Amino acid sequence: MNTDHDLIHDLAQMADGTDRMAALRTRLAVAADRDGILDVAYRIVDSPVGPLLVAATDQGLVRVAYANEGHDAVLQQLADKISPRILHAPTRLDTVARELDEYFAGIRRTFDIALDWRLSAGFRSTVLHRLPEIAYGHTASYAAVAQLAGNPKAVRAVGTACATNPLPVVVPCHRVVRSDGAMGGYLGGVEAKRVLLDLESAA
């Protein structure tokens, strides 16, 4: 029969094992980075819109994913589309995490981090590259963005580009709304879109 002392001992061993695993993962990530075999680094960042998976290559931030997208599924997609050499390497994304924290604290209005755009192409990429032109605290309609992207009739395509944006929050598809002023859909969910717009409006 286990005593309280035995239980405490078992819990301490489990915690120690968790710490050792974390240290091992850190050493593995450092070694992989040093040896040039780490193609995609990722970490999870806590935020007012839930945990965000952020991933980067040597070219820059390549993915921001909401929890409702399924983080495991996103990692598999990154493995399929970029490289299977993916590791949880938080320190590689310290700058990304800091800028996101500053944004959610209302003290950052633009992001200065390098971006890897390889997960978007064609007209979708054109749309996404124009979104940062929508100023912080402002919105633009899907129709206005279509015009900005050089194809005024491509309103539906603008919606698709926003719905498949691999870099939400950083590339501000949340600032695109319907012509009647309604928020419209959002890949992170309507509530997340409302939180982001309210944050920017308040700041």
The residues annotated with a catalytic role in the active site are 173
Helix (H) or strand (E) holding 92: none
Q: How many CA atoms lie within 13 A of 152 on its CB side?
A: 0
Q: Could you identify the residue written with the tokens 């959610």?
A: 104
d(CA 132, CA 138): 11
DSSP codes of every residue in 111-152 = --S-B--TT--HHHHHHHHHGGGS-TT--EEHHHHHHHTT-T
